[in-house]
Amino acid sequence: MKLRSSYVCQQCGYETASWYGKCPNCDTWNSLIETVKEVGKQQESKTARPEGTKPQKLSEVRHIEKNRLKSGLEEFDRVMGGGIVPGSVTLLAGDPGIGKSTLLLHVLAAAGGLYVSGEESAEQVKLRAKRLGVDGKNISILAETSVESIVSTLSTLSDLGNLVIVDSIQTLSSDDLDGMAGSVGQIRRSAEVLILAAKTHGIPIIIVGHVTKEGAIAGPKVLEHMVDTVLYLEGERFANARILRTLKNRFGAIEEVGIFDMSDSGLKEVSNPSALFLQDRVKNVPGSVVTVILEGTRPMLVEIQALAVPTQLAMPRRVGNGVDYNRLQLLVAILQKRLNLPLGGYDLFVNVSGGLKIAEPAADLAIALAILSSFKNKAIDPKTVVFGEVGLLGETRRIVSEERRIKEAKRLGFSAVCAPSNTPSLSKAAQLVA
Ligand code: TYD
Ligand code: MG
């Protein structure tokens, strides 16, 4: 067997034959690690690809929609584009401790299959399953970190069930490589081997991947390119709401999101997210405004809270939780200029309920009104919902899916809407707290 060694950047996955102090691709220092490859073995696996190389009539290609596996966990299936495609490989990424293992155990309990755990022992997984109220009759567990043993187990089992979960890619290593588990080379090699196994057995595999502090999926970008679907589970660690997003899906749309509620007994599907995000709302208090955001294609009502207090500092504080900091600065400047609010003497705090993060400008008007409401110490009518982008001139600007947002607000019992269609400017909206 021929051995070849190359240097692989642990940041971006760039490969080179010689060592550099700085990665020529992404300019990171000291990130190239020598990785040994068995050339012979790789070529062998290439030729063994089960799809073969014969062209096929497009009309004869089997239609995936029919064969999708419904896990039975509705929020999950919807995010996957209507179920899991056989032989597909999905990466579930998210911060450590956010609930990836919990979610997948729920999925597996519904679908039935094999749980490969490289992080926890069989007993630990059992404990978690007990907590979730999962009896585990249709789940097999394998505690293993060698990717070769995993795939050889897969090929010896007569009944794999419907789905294989691998938790997590960072704990796997290939016997063919020298690098430590979690290194770029190991992650890539492990993924390669698993993808081949998924295609060979026609079984879907879901791989867990942790995310680094900077928010990137630990390991090379190439991992995202290799798999069919990339899901992202996010939320605030100490808030209950969890949002499952699709970053990439070769078999479906990417705008769907799934909403879950983390409880003591696991993740509960949330079919009515607006009710969840508004459940703790206190009405008729200054500084509280309800807005409608769009997550994927779903409108959701959330509460924006603001607090304006006289500052003791030369530079007043602007703190936003769940809102973009620059956007907040901009809205404060618009409020100062267009409504003549002396906010320079006030510290401002803005919060979004449920630990949500709002990325769209649709919440501008609600954020501005919440600040104004707290500043004036006057509550706005609790049955009014507010949304719309605010421009630099103090004008309100239309946003996508106004109709759908209004419908969702009506459904939850809101009777008045303050939106660009009936409120052309910030000063007009300010009359709500006049
Ligand atoms: P986990 O699924 O282990 O996260 P990950 O696999 O993404 O690292 O979830 C861990 C957290 O979730 C942990 O802090 C405890 C909490 N948790 C609950 O609140 N309820 C539960 O039923 C379970 C199983 C976990
Ligand atoms: Mg885990």
Using CB atoms within 10 A of its CB, is residue 300 exposed (0-12), middle (13-18) or buried (19+)?
buried
Point out the ligand nearest to the CA of residue 93: 1
Q: Give percent above pLDDT 90 in the chain.
A: 57
Please tell me the distance between residue 99's alpha carbon and the centre of ligand 1 in angstroms: 5
Which SS3 state, helix, strand or coil, does residue 337 take? Answer: helix
Report the 10 Å Cβ neighbour count for 48.
9
The two tokens of residue 3 are 């051995």
Angle, helix 364-376 to helix 325-338, in steps of 10 degrees:
60
Higher pLDDT, 154 or 159: 154
> Which pLDDT tens digit goes with each residue over 12-25?
888 888 888 888 88
Please tell me the distance between residue 386's alpha carbon and the centre of ligand 1 in angstroms: 35
| pLDDT attached to residue 218 | 58
Based on the fold, state whether residues 79 and 219 are members of the same structural domain. Answer: yes
User: Please, what is the average pLDDT of the chain?
Assistant: 88
The two tokens of residue 87 are 């032989």
Residues 14 and 37: their CA atoms lie apart, in Å, by 15
- Tokens 């605010």: give the residue: 390
Residue 227 lies in a domain: yes
- Residue 185 contacts residue 33 (beta carbons within 8 Å): yes
Residue 54 lies in a domain: no
Residue 46 lies in a domain: no
> Which pLDDT tens digit goes with each residue over 253-294?
887 889 999 999 999 999 888 888 888 899 999 999 999 999
Q: Is 102 in the pocket of ligand 1 (CB under 6 A)?
A: yes
Residues 218 and 94: their CA atoms lie apart, in Å, by 10
Above 70 in pLDDT, residue 64?
Answer: no
Residues 93 and 310: their CA atoms lie apart, in Å, by 42
Based on the fold, state whether residues 202 and 327 are members of the same structural domain. Answer: no
Query: What CATH number is given to the structural domain containing 106?
Result: 3.40.50.300
Residues 434 and 425: their CA atoms lie apart, in Å, by 15
Residue 50 lies in a domain: no
Please tell me the distance between residue 97's alpha carbon and the centre of ligand 2 in angstroms: 7
Query: What CATH number is given to the structural domain containing 423?
Result: 3.30.230.10
Please tell me the distance between residue 129's alpha carbon and the centre of ligand 2 in angstroms: 13
Based on the fold, state whether residues 344 and 241 are members of the same structural domain. Answer: no
| Best CA proximity match to 89, nearest among 224, 228, 213 | 228
Based on the fold, state whether residues 280 and 329 are members of the same structural domain. Answer: yes
Q: Is 391 in the pocket of ligand 1 (CB under 6 A)?
A: no
Measure the CA angle with vertex 274, ends 269 and 279; round to 5°: 95
Residue 172 lies in a domain: yes
pTM as predicted: 0.79
Among protein residues, the one whose CA lies closest to atom 22 of ligand 1: 266
Residues 150 and 164: their CA atoms lie apart, in Å, by 11
Residue 47 lies in a domain: no
| pLDDT attached to residue 410 | 93
| Best CA proximity match to 11, nearest among 1, 293, 22 | 22
Residues 194 and 118: their CA atoms lie apart, in Å, by 14
Quickly state the pLDDT bin for 344 (edges 50, 70, 90): very high
Based on the fold, state whether residues 333 and 404 are members of the same structural domain. Answer: yes
Residue ending a domain, choose from 255, 271, 287? 271
Report the 10 Å Cβ neighbour count for 287.
24
Based on the fold, state whether residues 284 and 257 are members of the same structural domain. Answer: no
Based on the fold, state whether residues 307 and 257 are members of the same structural domain. Answer: no
> Which pLDDT tens digit goes with each residue over 159-210?
778 899 999 899 999 988 877 888 888 888 899 999 999 998 889 999 999 8
Domain region containing 110: 68-271
The two tokens of residue 200 are 């060979």
Residues 109 and 70: their CA atoms lie apart, in Å, by 12
Q: Is the dihedral of CA 259, 262, 267, 270 positive or negative?
A: negative
Based on the fold, state whether residues 234 and 359 are members of the same structural domain. Answer: no
Domain count, the chain: 3
1-10, 111-120, 417-426: range with lowest mean pLDDT: 1-10
Please identify, by atom number, the ligand 1 atom nearest to the C-alpha of residue 168.
Answer: 6
Residues 307 and 371: their CA atoms lie apart, in Å, by 7
- Tokens 């006030």: give the residue: 346
Residues 173 and 210: their CA atoms lie apart, in Å, by 15
228-242, 328-342, 347-361: range with lowest mean pLDDT: 228-242
Give the residue, out of 102, 165, 168, 243, with the most ligand 1 atoms within 8 A of its beta carbon, to mutate for a pocket test.
102
Residue 45 lies in a domain: no
**Is the peptide bond prior to 88 cis by the omega test (within 30 degrees of 0)?**
no
Residue 49 lies in a domain: no
Point out the ligand nearest to the CA of residue 104: 1
| pLDDT attached to residue 3 | 62
327-352 burial string, b = 16+ CB within 10 Å, else e? bbebbbebbeebbebebeebbbbbbb
Above 80 in pLDDT, residue 43?
Answer: no
Please identify, by atom number, the ligand 1 atom nearest to the C-alpha of residue 119.
Answer: 6
Above 90 in pLDDT, residue 304?
Answer: yes
Backbone angles phi, psi at 147, to 5 degrees: -65, -30
Based on the fold, state whether residues 294 and 409 are members of the same structural domain. Answer: yes
Report the 10 Å Cβ neighbour count for 17.
8
